[in-house]
Amino acid sequence: MRHPLTDRFDGAAAVIADIEQRVADTADHAGDTHRLIDAYHPKRLRLAISEIIEETETTKTFRLQAVDGAVLPPFAAGQYVNVFRDGTSRPYAISSSPANTDHYDLTVRRVPAGRISNLLNDTVRVDDEVVTTGPMGTFHHNPLFHGEDVVFLAGGSGVAPALSMLRDIADNRLGRRFHLLYGSRSGGDVLFRDRLAELVAEHPSLRVDHVISDPEPQWIGRTGFLSAETIEELAGPLAGRMVYVCGPQALYAYALEQLRALGHPRRRIRFEANGAPSDPAARSDWPADSDPAEEVTVTAGGLTFRSPRRRPLLDALEDNGIRPEAACRSGECSLCRIRVRRGQVHHAEEARLRLSDARFGYIHSCVAYPITDVELDL
Ligand code: FES
């Protein structure tokens, strides 16, 4: 049968024939193909905690190795794995070097009401097993588009992917200039201080500046926030440079404002996905007259339950024992995509929906909120 695209685009017939041939080739080696995909992009990894490093009073680094001692799938510096625990999951950036695939380091800071981060800090011991996804995420250097002179604005534990990127440059002898501007509340909150200093001392293309907002009396470095003035003074002209941003949610709006004040274009700024909005109803696009605390009825997976409007549907489903596939929990990866059969749902702006999703009623449940009673197809 003639493909409908053939008449609409020059060359479509050749492209379609090529795709069909590749699909046929793949079918001939389906077993090998699946083994290769499982090795490089496994859905799940069984890992054991081989070491726990106390970074600060509130932060630990967990070193994870395959339970069978196997080499782990490769990753790009900046990627994360999703850790499953307590009926839910959370993504944590890998802070170790991509040059060492015998382990992943995950650096986890305690946060108020942080269900999984606090559970990991309080209960996980050496030799415990953890189930994760394989490495995921798009927050990594792209040599085609990001250039070889980059700036990274980090806040708090958002420095974890920056450390992995710095280690990548050092271990793989990449000719990239990398300037980390790292904001912390106090000197005692600074993570990886010695390791960052060692990397900078050994590699002239790397630079790290600490900026402390609430310094101890003995702090002698830079103070304040990652303001436009501070960024300009420390990093110099940003023109043509990619700026990565990773940290607490409050940093994102603040950093965007400061970078815009410096005239830096939005396309030269990369934000790491960072969870569902902490207060979706505080956003200007929250539907007027919808009390975020009021409960609505959710029907899904053969169950019917009540949940407040402000609770993301993914969390509401997990609360009731329903576990859709999920990873980023930030609207980006699309793994938690489900269909709304009936009812009205509000999406946070983080949702990276395909054009066809709205047409066919699909949502990213991690950043979607039920405004009316809803019925979902899982
Ligand atoms: S879990 Fe990634 S988009 Fe929802």
For the chain, list the domains and their CATH numbers: 45-132 (2.40.30.10), 149-271 (3.40.50.80), 285-377 (3.10.20.30)
Residue type (1 letter), 235 = A
Q: Which atom of ligand 1 lies closest to the CA of 326?
A: 1
**Contact (CB, 8 A) for 280 and 315:** no
**CA–CA distance, 307 with 299 (Å, rounded to integer):** 11
Is 77 exposed, middle or buried (CB count within 10 Å of its CB: 0-12, 13-18, 19+)?
A: buried
Ligand 1 pocket member 153 (CB < 6 A): no
Instruction: Read off the pLDDT of each residue in 233-249 and give the average, rounded to a whole number.
Output: 96
* Pocket lining: 155 vs ligand 1, CB cutoff 6 Å: no
pLDDT tens profile 140-192? 999 899 999 999 999 999 999 999 999 999 999 999 999 999 999 999 999 99
Q: What's the pLDDT tens digit per position in 131-151?
A: 999 999 999 999 899 999 999
Whether 61 has a pLDDT exceeding 90, the answer reads yes
User: CA–CA separation, 26 vs 262, rounded Å?
Assistant: 50
What separation in Å is there between the alpha carbon of 359 and the centre of ligand 1? 19
pLDDT (0 to 100) of residue 359: 87
- Candidate of 334, 347, 353 to mutate for ligand 1, largest count of ligand atoms within 8 Å of Cβ: 334
Query: 332 C-alpha to center of ligand 1: Å?
Result: 5
Give the ligand 1 atom nearest the CA of 367: 4
The 149-155 sheet, strands edge to edge? 222-223, 206-212, 177-184, 149-155, 242-246, 269-271
In whole angstroms, what is the distance from residue 348 CA to residue 283 CA? 9
Dist. CA 77–CA 93, nearest whole Å: 9
312 within ligand 1 shell (Cβ under 6 A): no
The rounded distance, in Å, linking the Cα atoms of 269 and 251 is 13
* Lowest pLDDT segment from 24-33, 126-135, 213-222: 24-33
Q: Is there an atom of ligand 1 within 6 Å of 273 CB?
A: no
Q: What are phi and psi of 169, to 5 degrees?
A: -60, -45
Atom of ligand 1 nearest to the CA of 329: 1
